[in-house]
Amino acid sequence: MANYSDNQVVFFSENKKAVYDLWQKINDYINNSKTNSICGFLESLGYSEYESRNMSDLRNSFVGCDDEVTDDESVSFFYIKTETAWTGNIEVFYRVIEDKYNNEIELYALIEESGFNIFINIDEEGVYFYPKYKIDAFINDEQIVEYFESFSQVLDFIKKKFPKVKLSSKDTIARLKKKITKVYKINDDEDFVCIVKLMNDNVFGEEVLGNAAHEMGEDLII
């Protein structure tokens, strides 16, 4: 069974007509489709069944779309949400933009797949999606999922959530791991704290505090 990625995508452009056209096509498809399959949407745009299956997985689908396009000064934009198997499958929308809109529409995406702690934010400037850090934890039967724009915000959260931990300006995520693990004795098989730092649109780093079996990635010096 596949792990599913929850994705948010924003389409934006100074070409208002192109943005409205894409928004209308996605909305019409979602409102009239029984499955909301991305493959079905591709076929509605004129791609063959063979092409659509090569561009997207049959399990990938739309979850939602903005009710309207937002016009902000010279730029028009709208958001969609998708659920996709394993990866964000954002490439399919780049292909549509290239084939149908002559690359006159741009997109950013926020991609999350919690099974492997994947956290990707393509919007490096934080114009439409601000998160750069994520804490995903399960401690004493409490699930914690929080997003942050800066490492200082991460530290502020840790101060409140783990007040026994003494923090310093030289702390790295690796050092935080040792401190929290030692002070709070996070050794149970089901308890963990995962701190994820976005690196760029394809690479992310993480540290898992607690069960060694969950550890992935490398120490990140902040």
Residues 76 and 169 in one domain: no
In this prediction, residue 107 carries a pLDDT of: 97
Report the distance separating Cα 47 and Cα 54, nearest Å: 10
Burial class (CB in 10 A: 0-12, 13-18, 19+), 82: buried
DSSP 122: -
Let me know if residue 195 belongs to a domain: yes
Let me know if residue 221 belongs to a domain: no
- In single-letter form, the type of residue at position 184 comes to Y
By residue range, what is the domain housing residue 99?
Answer: 4-121
DSSP 166: P
Residues 50 and 105 in one domain: yes
Instruction: List per-residue pLDDT tens for the chain, 222 residues long.
Output: 778 999 999 999 999 999 999 999 999 999 999 899 999 999 999 999 999 999 999 999 999 999 999 999 899 999 999 999 988 999 999 999 999 999 999 999 999 887 776 778 888 888 999 888 888 888 778 888 888 888 888 889 999 988 998 888 778 777 887 788 788 777 666 777 777 776 554 444 444 444 433 333 333 322
In this prediction, residue 169 carries a pLDDT of: 77
Residues 174 and 85 in one domain: no
In this prediction, residue 172 carries a pLDDT of: 79
Residues 109 and 198 in one domain: no
In this prediction, residue 188 carries a pLDDT of: 63
In this prediction, residue 27 carries a pLDDT of: 97
In this prediction, residue 187 carries a pLDDT of: 65
Instruction: State in Å, rounded, how far the first CA of the chain is from the last one.
Output: 36
Could you write out the DSSP letters of every residue in 47-74?
A: --HHHHHHHS-TT-EEEEE-SS-EEETT
Question: Closest Cα partner for 215 from 146, 123, 116, 119?
Answer: 116
In this prediction, residue 201 carries a pLDDT of: 46
Let me know if residue 126 belongs to a domain: no
Residues 112 and 157 in one domain: no
Number of domains in the chain: 2
Residue 27: how many other CB atoms lie within 10 Å? 18
Residues 113 and 140 in one domain: no
Q: Helices (DSSP H) in the chain: which residue ranges? A: 16-32, 38-44, 49-55, 91-101, 151-161, 173-184
Which backbone phi and psi does 7 adopt, to 5 degrees?
-125, 145
Domain boundary among 121, 152, 178: 121
Distance of CA 204 to the CA centre of its chain: 11
Let me know if residue 15 belongs to a domain: yes
Question: What is the rounded (10 degree) CA torsion for 182, 188, 191, 196?
Answer: 50
- Residues 57-81: tens digit of each pLDDT: 999 999 999 999 999 989 999 999 9
In this prediction, residue 218 carries a pLDDT of: 34
Let me know if residue 128 belongs to a domain: no
